[in-house]
Amino acid sequence: MDNINTFEQLREACISTGKAIYEVAQENMAHQAEISVEEVRAFTNRSLFAMKEAIQSGMSSRELSMSEMCGQDCYKMQQRYRVARSVFGGTFEKIVEYALATSEENIRMGKIVACPTAGSCGIVPSALVAVSEDLNKSEREQIDALITAGEVGRIISAKVALAGAVAGCQAECGAAAAMSAAGICQMLGGNVFQVLNAMALAMKNILGLTCDPVAGLVEVPCVKRNPFMAVHSVTAAELALAGVESKIPPDEVIDAMEQAGVLMSPMLKESSLGGLATTKTGLEIQKKVFG
């Protein structure tokens, strides 16, 4: 089952063995690293624990980043939800808060799990942890979901580098949303087809997302982009579980993502030479931060 570098290869491996995506993935990781499956799962659990630690640290802090642009959005949401509940319910509230908490922990230079990147670090943890808490999912199920998400990210990265400088934010927050959608779908009992479909739905609906950080910092719009994409990922998972299909297969969606990255102007790929970074206010912020 080695050399799985496409979603079609992954699907065929799962069908031929009768195994779930996480089972195929953990066996391949164990083989390649020359360790046991139990060690792979233990490593994944440590990452899961680190994600939860970052959430808790971020939830309890109001410290601003060095630029003073960000750092208190999670606190603002916590205050709002104490007096006015979200129309989408408690799990939505947690996802938004957890995504902001993790992203803000990142800009404070705290410990986070790059999943798949630092700029997108709040997407997978917020959705996975919030859903697992509210649906009482076991540690085993959470590890299964995180391994599933990781395998999706690995296969996307085999085609496109997961970096804003290469393919814009579709390769960071977009990839994270696809990973999260797959992981949540797995956690909610989705089969192999549904999990891959969730990934495709999440990814194709974020194609072309630019990377235009204000002042070149991973703060604006990056921090607030995380809760948007986390909720986006749950939408994709629920659509897939209902039988809604992506008419474009997963691998072709990634091909389209690669093409969009190639066609995207370098001014919109982490260079801060266009988009939000060069708006009047964006330039004023840059001058204020750097002089």
Tens digits of residue pLDDT in 45-86: 999 999 999 999 999 999 999 999 999 999 999 999 999 999
Residues in the chain: 291
Query: What is the C-alpha separation between 35 and 29, in angstroms, rounded?
Result: 8
The single-letter DSSP state of residue 269 is B
Query: What is the C-alpha separation between 187 and 177, in angstroms, rounded?
Result: 15
Domain boundaries, the chain: 7-290
Under CATH, what is the fold of the domain 7-290?
Answer: 2-methylcitrate dehydratase PrpD (1.10.4100)
Q: Which of 160, 193, 191, 197 is nearest to 178 (CA)?
A: 197
Q: Can you give the pLDDT at residue 15?
A: 98
Q: Can you give the pLDDT at residue 2?
A: 67
**Category of 3 on φ-ψ map: left (φ > 0), alpha (ψ -120 to 50) or beta:** left
Copy the structure tokens of residue 214.
């204000």
Across the range 184-198, mean pLDDT stands at 98
Please return the burial class of 269, using the count of CB atoms within 10 Å of its CB with bins 0-12, 13-18 and 19+: buried
Across the range 171-189, mean pLDDT stands at 98
Find out whether 237 and 181 touch, Cβ atoms under 8 Å: yes
Decide if pLDDT at 1 tops 90: no
For residue 94, the Cα-to-chain-centroid distance in whole angstroms is 16
Query: What is the C-alpha separation between 230 and 226, in angstroms, rounded?
Result: 6
First-residue to last-residue Cα distance in the chain? 54
- Per-residue pLDDT reduced to its tens digit, 12-50: 999 999 999 999 999 999 999 999 999 999 999 999 999
Q: Which of 250, 232, 255 is nearest to 184 (CA)?
A: 232
Copy the structure tokens of residue 56.
């808790």
Q: Can you give the pLDDT at residue 291?
A: 82
Query: What is each CA distance from 131 to 43, 105, 107, in whole angstroms?
Result: 21, 21, 25
Q: Can you give the pLDDT at residue 26?
A: 98
Q: Can you give the pLDDT at residue 279?
A: 98
Copy the structure tokens of residue 234.
């749950």
What residues contact residue 171 under an 8 Å CB cut-off, 6+ apart?
160, 161, 162, 163, 164, 257, 261
- Per-residue pLDDT reduced to its tens digit, 239-283: 999 999 999 999 999 999 999 999 999 999 999 999 999 999 999
% of the chain residues with pLDDT over 90:
99
Identify the bridge partners of residue 211 per DSSP, sorted by sequence position.
269
- Per-residue pLDDT reduced to its tens digit, 87-113: 999 999 999 999 999 999 999 999 999
- Per-residue pLDDT reduced to its tens digit, 209-243: 999 999 999 999 999 999 999 999 999 999 999 99
3-state secondary structure at position 205: coil
Backbone angles phi, psi at 57, to 5 degrees: -65, -45
Q: Can you give the pLDDT at residue 3?
A: 86
